[in-house]
Each structure stands twice: as structure tokens, then as C-alpha cells.
Amino acid sequence: MLVVVAPGQGSQTPGLLTPWLEDPVFADRLEWLSAVSGMDLAHYGTDADEDAIRDTAVAQPLLVATGLLAALQLFPHPADAFGRIGAVAGHSVGELTAAAGARAITAEQAMVLVRERGAAMAAAAAAVDTGMSAVLGGDRSEVLALLEELGLTAANDNSAGQIVAAGTLEQLAALASAPPARARIIPLKVAGAFHTDHMAPAVGRLERLARSVSVHDPRTRVISNRDGQVVHSGQDVLRRIVGQIARPVRWDLCLEAMDDLGVTGILEVPPAGTLTGIARRHFGKRVETFALTGPDQLDAARDFCDRHGEPSPLDLSPTWRMVVAPSKGTIHLADESRAAGVLAAGAAIGDIVSLRDRIAVTSAHGGEVVEWLVEDGDLVSPGQPLVRLHPLAHRVPSARSAS
């Protein structure tokens, strides 16, 4: 099973688009996304120096455009992607790349949102001198306890042995001067304490914009940074992306979800290397990885996708909808829903119980029950369809959903 992942801020390097722009199709598409974002992305991806592309307002649109356009080079026809990719995930701003790739939002919507996200986060970062540092190694519980003691946030929990601390520069200096036992502290080249309360003003800005964004339920499973759950409501995908600006990235839980899905191959879109490196340390030789760094690798990347690809279980027919499991566990179906011929939007489907938690599953959309695809007490995996619904002519407005 193939998972495609998109990296976050800090992975950009000077000249990353130079080899890609030799293809006129890529160049034309980049010009279009530049027009949408109001930025000269070709300049920032070729001639701009490291300091220029470190700017949050520049780095984020550059990363999303690069990932989206490289994916289009890999899968020129989106239908080919849907027939191979089992799930997508993005680290931090990479979630916008993943959401557009899964067709929850359009590429144009992603570029407008990332432009405003980058500008709002840059403004929030300028209000207080903050930053981020990677904590490599050390005992996990000791690392987390020290961060809490210093008032720092574990902003990125990437995997065992790699946690990113975020906070004021004074707090980070205190961490560097007395690090946890057997741990190294590496300052990161970012402008502020992302995924912490310092970014709350940026959340407010994106929340207002997101109210006007039309979304679709994704056509590929989307794994959320918030908790590693598979999200199958377009509204929920966008809501989580907005809120994640000021919430820690739980990439460790995303990796667990990939494991639950049965991942065999992980392909990282450019600028690639960071997430495939984390995956190799997490999975070892159980999962093959591919870091797509340049157009000369496209044929090899397509071969990789052919070896690991299998279609998402989400049927693409527009004549009915599905409710899917957000995580792994045992499904306990709600009696009232099992007996109903029609479900209203927001109707309780049941609970998924695992050793870690209990998650309520509701129907984001109302509809006539076509068929139940699981029975009470079944073990389910992330993104597994639970019930198929036929849309009603007059639906109740969508409600929040865990599905």
C-alpha cells in the first residue's frame, strides 16, 4: 500500500525548482500558481538565496506549489493517482499539499490559503522573539518533562528520538545550555514558534477565510497531523488544517496510522528527504521509501508507485456517500442507526474503541442507508468504509463529524 507524503517548512533549499523548470509544462503550471498566489515562485525557487526563502511568507507557498506540481508530473492524470495511492499525509504546511492532492480542496484554494497562512504566521512570529529546536535522542519522558518545566511546547512529535521544541528564544537557550541526558539540541532555521499558542492570531485569520472555501470529501484517505486519524469529511480536513497552526504536529501518530493501514511504500514529494528519513528510522526495512528530489527520478518514482500502489477503498461514484472509520479499533454500532432506513446529518454511527481511546463516529451527510459494510464488534482499520448512503433530495445541513 502506497502513502504519499508532503514535507513542511524547513525542507526548502535554494534552487530547488531549477531542474524542474526545464520542463515547459511544469513552468507554465508554476506561472499559473504564481499568479494565484501573487508571488514570483520561479524566482524564489531558482535565484533567491537561503535567507529569502527562509521567510515564512515565502517558504510556505513555495513548498506547497513545488509538491503539487511535482505530483502532477508524477501523475499527469489525477485518476491514475486515485488508482494507486492508498493515503496521503502532509507535515505541517504539507497538509495543504495533501488536501489538494486528495481533491478535498483545489490547487488554487490551497495556494490562496497557504499565502495567507504564511503571511499570518510571519506576522505572529514577529510579535515575539520565538523559535524552534530539534531534540534528538534522550529518554522521551525525560525530554517531555524538561520541555514542560522550561515552558516549551513539543511542537513536532515526529517519532521516537525526534521531538521539536518551540518557545521563546530565552526558553530555547535554557534548553541548549542544559539539554536532557543523551540528547542533542539543533536550532532550526524557522522564523518562530510554530504549532504553539504563539500562533493563535494566525488561526483567527485563517478561520475567517476558511468560511468561504468550498470543500469536497477527499477521494483518497487523508491522515491528520492532529491525531493520526483518517479524515473523510472535507469540512473536517479544512478545519483541522486551520487549527493545526497553533497545535502540535503528531507525526508519530501519522506513522502509526500508516502502519495500521498496512503501508509498504512511502513516497515523499519534493523537496524530499526529511520525511522519508524519519520513516526509515521508524519502520526500518519493513517499508520501502522514495524521496523524489528531481525530474530525473520520475520514471523510477512511477515504477515505485506501480510496485506499491493499490486503489483507495473510497468509491468515486457521486451518487452515494460513505462514512469511514477514522482509526483502528473495534466498532460498536449505535442501535438507533442500525435500525434506521434514513440517517440525518450528524447521526451517531457508533464508537471505535482501541487501547488508546474511544472515538465517536457520526455521519457528516444525511442519506438513505444503502448498505452496512461492517457488523457490530468488527475490527476496523483507518479509512475503512462503514456504511454507504444515498443522498436525499433535501439534506439536513452537514454537521461536524469524526468520519
Residues with a catalytic annotation lie at 92, 195
Distance of CA 388 to the CA centre of its chain: 26
Q: Are 139 and 180 in contact (CB under 8 A)?
A: yes
CA 193 to each of CA 12, 108, 128, 168, 258: distance values in angstroms, whole numbers, following the listed order: 18, 27, 9, 7, 27
Q: Are 92 and 150 in contact (CB under 8 A)?
A: no
β-bridge mates for residue 134, sequence order: 164, 186
Q: Determine the Cα–Cα distance for residues 21 and 307; give it in Å rounded to an integer.
A: 28
Amino acid type, 205:
R
- The H-assigned helical ranges of 83-136 are 94-101, 107-127
Q: Which three cell numbers stand for residue 7?
A: 514535507
Q: Determine the Cα–Cα distance for residues 336 and 278; give it in Å rounded to an integer.
A: 44
Q: Determine the Cα–Cα distance for residues 221 and 383; give it in Å rounded to an integer.
A: 6
Amino acid type, 355:
L
* Contacts for 311 with CB less than 8 Å, ≥ 6 apart: 82, 83, 84, 86
Burial of 302 (0-12, 13-18, 19+ CB in 10 A): middle
- Collapsing DSSP to helix, strand or coil, 243 comes out as helix
Closest CA to 63 of 33, 83, 32, 25: 33
DSSP 252-280: HHHHHHHHHHT--EEEE-SS-SHHHHHHH
Q: Determine the Cα–Cα distance for residues 378 and 138; give it in Å rounded to an integer.
A: 39
Closest CA to 164 of 271, 24, 8, 51: 8
β-bridge mates for residue 4, sequence order: 88, 267
